[in-house]
Amino acid sequence: MFVCSEVVVVLPVMPVVARGPLEGVVMEQLAAWLAAERYSRTMVPQVLGVARGLSAWMDDHDVSLAALSLDVLEAFQAKYAPGVPGHVIVKVRSPAVRRFLVECGYLPGEELVRKRVRGPSAREAPPLGSAAVGELDAWGRWQREARGISQACIHHRRGWVGALVDSLPVADEVINWSACDVTVVNAFIVDRAEGLASASRAAIVDAMRSLLRWALATGRIERDLTGGILRARATRAMLPRGLSPGQVEGLLSACDLDTIVGLRDRAVITTLWRLGLRAGEAATLGLDDVDWAVGRVSVIGKGPRRLTLPVPVDVGQALIAWLQARPDALDRALFVRVRPPIRALSSAGISDIVKHRAEAAGLGVVHAHRLRHTAAMNVIATGGSLIEAQELLGHSNAASTSVYARVDLASLRTLTVPFGQVPR
């Protein structure tokens, strides 16, 4: 049963006779898994019904449990095309069945989130050779130990340019780096960047420059090639864009406080725009990170660095309202899903909250990071200094915060002189 506003939609359970390779142990494991994941009592029989339907379909087509694959699942779902009885329930409950089969090892090698991942891993790519993997591992260790690069950044850089290393000739499991020159590198960048946004193209170039610096530092190449590689086209410098007080109020008003979802979304948005958190930082907040006795919250920033920020009154009120309604979850995350499995929201989940509430408020496309800009600009607008904005945002380098000086119009006006006069 789904409840959407005032509309109640009932999805009938598929009437399938118990048979097929999933019956018995697998179905018992699925029932236990659904209970452990805190799926609701109305959803459990629906998921079990889809699993039984899959089992019966496999029995009809002589597909054994060992032969179960993603293609088998897609063929089963294709049977229930739009208009076919059972189409809706198969569509909405198959993801849960698939996740169970992946986590329990019945779909080995299948990545659950492959189609939802953005960035370098979104493209299907063949597995890399062992020689390339060894080189990329060594590059990753160099970035971590010599440059202090975060593991997440290393992972993304590897995804962007790993195919270049794999394309170089190999002799006796050793990469021949002499074949890597400016022409080869630029041809790879052009091919890899095709159809991508400017930010992604810049990320490819950044990863390539890092790879070539490492190759030079470790003697794999003899000349510095970074000066000859293509650069992503520079974008026009833009001022940080925040939301006006009216827009922030409209965003908060789009959250229905009579619902659990509305209470959670208001708490998320209030925390983002008042504390200037990134979406990923908000997603990692736990119940134990808020010290109510002293009114402070501990945040894991970039680096990772742990920041301690004060909890403003409006943030505290929004969090209390949400925590009073927060359902029991599988972990101690501060912000969690409200539908099973009830667990921590991901960074993408935090961003989706801002996106959907902005659309409901008629603000168009608003990303979560824009609320971070709003927080910094609010500090400046209320008379705060760049140092205070830097402490709020957790910037280790003051240059990162200096961009907000360009939006401090009151201070900038004091630097201007009337037209025609010579500055003194």
Q: pLDDT digits over 378-410, tens only?
A: 776 676 666 766 667 776 666 666 666 555 555
At 362-371, the pLDDT tens digits run: 988 888 888 8
pLDDT in tens, 122-153: 444 567 788 888 999 999 999 988 888 888 88
Residue-level pLDDT at 193: 83
What is the rounded distance in angstroms from the CA atom of residue 169 to the CA atom of residue 129? 11
- pLDDT higher than threshold 90 for residue 418: no
- Where is mean pLDDT largest: 18-32, 168-182, 246-260? 246-260
Of 11-25, 188-202, 275-289, minimum mean pLDDT range? 11-25
pLDDT higher than threshold 70 for residue 339:
yes
pLDDT of 420 > 50? The answer is yes
Helical pair 43-60 and 87-103, crossing angle rounded to 10 deg: 90
Q: What is the number of residues in the chain?
A: 424
Compute the average pLDDT of residues 64-85: 84
* Strand boundaries in 65-210, DSSP class E: 170-171, 174-175
Question: Do you find a cis peptide bond into 45, omega within 30 degrees of 0?
Answer: no
Confidence band (pLDDT; 50, 70, 90) for 422? Answer: low
Look at residue 250 and tell me whether its pLDDT is greater than 80. yes
Q: How far apart are the first and last CA of the chain?
A: 74
For residues 228-254, give the mean pLDDT.
77
Q: Are strands 7-9 and 306-310 parallel, antiparallel or unpaired?
A: unpaired
14 versus 95: which is more confidently predicted?
95
Whether 323 shows a pLDDT value over 90: the answer reads yes
pLDDT band at 234 (very low <50, low <70, confident <90, very high): low
- When pLDDT is averaged across residues 295-318 and rounded to a whole number, the result is 85
For range 219-229, the mean pLDDT: 85
pLDDT of residue 175: 87
CA pair distance 386, 33, nearest whole angstrom: 51
3-state DSSP assignment of residue 9: strand
Claim: this prediction has a pTM higher than 0.85: no
Element counts in the chain: helices (H) and strands (E): 17, 7
- Domain 245-412 annotated CATH 1.10.443.10: yes
The pLDDT value recorded for residue 195 is: 76
**pLDDT at res. 385:** 66
Confidence of residue 241 (pLDDT cuts 50, 70, 90): confident
**Of the ranges 14-28, 141-155, 231-245, 331-345, which one carries the lowest mean pLDDT score?**
231-245
pLDDT value of residue 36:
81
122-228: CATH number: 1.10.150.130
Query: Does 245-412 match 122-228 at the fold level?
Result: no
On the question of pLDDT at 278 being above 50, the answer is yes
Q: What is the pLDDT of residues 201-217, one digit of tens each?
A: 888 888 889 999 999 99
pLDDT of the residue at 378: 77
pLDDT for 115: 39
Average pLDDT of the chain? 80
Q: Assess whether pLDDT exceeds 90 at residue 325.
A: yes
Position 111 scores a pLDDT of 46
Q: Where are the domains of the chain?
A: 2-115, 122-228, 245-412
Given a cut of 70, is residue 112 above it in pLDDT? Answer: no
Instruction: Inform me whether the pLDDT recorded for 311 exceeds 50.
Output: yes
| Helix residue ranges per DSSP H, 290-346 | 313-325
**Gyration radius from the chain CA atoms:** 26
Going across the sheet that includes 290-291, the strands are: 290-291, 296-300, 306-310
pLDDT at 286: 92
The token pair at 135 is 């080189």
Query: What are the angstrom distances between the C-alpha of 217 and each of 184, 212, 232?
Result: 20, 8, 24
